[in-house]
Amino acid sequence: MDVDAGGRRSRVVLGVSGGIAAYKACEVLRGLTESGCDVTVVPTAAALTFVGSATWSALSGKPVATDVWQDAHRVPHVRLGQEADVIVVAPATADLLARATHGIADDLLTNVLLTARCPVVLAPAMHTEMWEHPATRRNVALLRERGMIVLEPDSGRLTGADSGKGRLPQPAAIVAAVLDILRREPTDDLRGLRIAISAGGTREAWDPVRFVGNHSSGRQGVELARTALARGAIVTLVAAHMTVEPPAGVEVVRVSSAAELQQAMQDRAPTSDVVVMAAAVADFRPVPESTKVKKDDTGAGVTLDLERTADVLAGLVAARSGSAPFIVGFAAETATDAAELLALGRAKLMRKGCDLLVVNDVGADEVFGSPDNAVVILGADGSQAELPRQGKAGIADGIWDAVAARLRG
């Protein structure tokens, strides 16, 4: 695995604050060292009551310091932060988030966070009440605004008998978030931009047990979210039904039907700099039955009456004031050749009125659920750029290149 930083091993500081999930940080440490990272562990004093320094130094192969007075002649509180390529704190308690937000530097870890100029990933773990408290919500929002990546905690069983949101994200997801940062080209051209992305396929209820849906996996939208986050954006993923997991570090809003997706996007568009409609939204929905549709003994079929849904993308374009937010649409087309694909794409771009339209040929290849794709990006300015077949992460980066160039221009 290549996580070199200019010919040397990437330097990662793993901060551990005092929560029961501290033991899971051992797995994060393992994952990072096995990926070739040079990891220095900086536990808080409270963290050492959960997992002792012998464990950290044995697993990292390095001495472990907690306070700024240890090895003071080497000025660790400044050096560690300055020299790190990435800092990751797992678990980050509510207290640690609060201290990081307010620039309090009363131990080695918070000093390191204050001197750091590299990307910082915070993996929170706490009880649901603490995560949902307005103080924590505000702290997380401020940290994200400053460019720190605050991962969303998982939901599930907490320390006691209770369960809810607040579990430490999976160690593998934390390691992946760090490695994503180390592998990427150092570009932060979307830094601070608020981006709302819809992804996945909507489901329209027919009766209490059945729905009309589509094949969308959500994969392209998830890659757009992951790459935007890596380029510095603050990302909201409005996730309809997906077969892939959303990336850690983005706000996820779950929706099911076209109407719910429309509401979620309408709510977010006015405060977004960029909106991307990557979701496969139903164009038609059944008029729902309140009770289960039964078959009879005659063997007769049923006729499903479908009514039109709203065009979410066109609605977002119509509702914006001036040129904000910048709006990107997708087009799923079945064309017999490249010329027809482009003609269909141009006509759709005109109809929808968005700034960029990413055109897929869904007939030629299996785009839905496939790990790769080839697209043409059409601009309202008449531009046209082809992205050759590649992974959906590469396609996502190509789309962000086009967006960033337009926003700069």
- Considering only 67-75, 103-111, 119-127, 305-313, which stretch makes contact with ligand CTP by CB under 6 A? 305-313
**Is 214 designated active site?**
yes
In the complex, the smallest distance separating the C-beta of residue 265 from ligand CTP, rounded to whole angstroms, is: 8
Check binding of 306 to ligand CTP (CB under 6 A).
Answer: no
In the complex, the smallest distance separating the C-beta of residue 307 from ligand CTP, rounded to whole angstroms, is: 12
**What torsion do the CA atoms of 123, 128, 133, 135 make, to the nearest 10 degrees?**
-20
Task: Report the 3 state secondary structure along the chain.
Answer: CCCEECCEECEEEEEECCCHHHHHHHHHHHHHHHCCCEEEEEECHHHHCCCCHHHHHHHHCCCCCCCCCCCHHHCHHHHHHHHCCEEEEEEECHHHHHHHHHCCCCCHHHHHHHHCCCCEEEEECCCHHHHHCHHHHHHHHHHHHCCCEECCCEEEECCCCCEEEEECCCHHHHHHHHHHHHHCCCCCCCCCCEEEEEECECCEEEECCEEECCCCCCHHHHHHHHHHHHCCCEEEEEECECCCCCCCCCEEEECCCHHHHHHHHHHHHHHCCEEEECCECCCEEECCCCCCCCCCCCCCCCCCCEEECCCHHHHHHHHCECCECEEEEEEEECCCCHHHHHHHHHHHHHHHCCCEEEEEECCCCCCCCCCEEEEEEEECCCCEEEEEEEEHHHHHHHHHHHHHHHHHC
- Considering only 59-67, 122-130, 157-165, 309-317, which stretch makes contact with ligand CTP by CB under 6 A? 309-317
Rounded-to-integer distance, Cα 352 and Cα 165, Å: 38
Candidates 13, 68, 281, 403: give the one binding ligand CTP (CB under 6 A): 281
* Interaction pattern, residues 247-266, with ligand CTP; x per rule: CB under 6 A: -----------x--------
* Interaction pattern, residues 380-409, with ligand CTP; x per rule: CB under 6 A: ------------------------------
- Rank residues 151 and 277 by Cβ distance to ligand CTP and give the closer one: 277
* Interaction pattern, residues 96-135, with ligand CTP; x per rule: CB under 6 A: ----------------------------------------
- Rank residues 211 and 330 by Cβ distance to ligand CTP and give the closer one: 330
In the complex, the smallest distance separating the C-beta of residue 330 from ligand CTP, rounded to whole angstroms, is: 4
Check binding of 200 to ligand CTP (CB under 6 A).
Answer: no
Candidates 32, 312, 376, 393: give the one binding ligand CTP (CB under 6 A): 312
Number of residues in contact with ligand CTP under rule CB under 6 A: 13
Name the catalytic one among 111, 214, 360, 373. Answer: 214
Would you say how long the chain is, in residues? 409
In the complex, the smallest distance separating the C-beta of residue 281 from ligand CTP, rounded to whole angstroms, is: 4
Candidates 37, 190, 313, 399: give the one binding ligand CTP (CB under 6 A): 313
* Interaction pattern, residues 317-346, with ligand CTP; x per rule: CB under 6 A: ------------xxxx--------------
Candidates 37, 108, 125, 279: give the one binding ligand CTP (CB under 6 A): 279
For residue 397, give both structure tokens: 């980066």
Check binding of 277 to ligand CTP (CB under 6 A).
Answer: yes
- Considering only 154-162, 186-194, 204-212, 304-312, which stretch makes contact with ligand CTP by CB under 6 A? 304-312
Q: What residue ranges bind ligand CTP (CB under 6 A)?
A: 258, 277, 279, 281, 283, 309, 311-313, 329-332
Q: Which positions are catalytic? A: 214
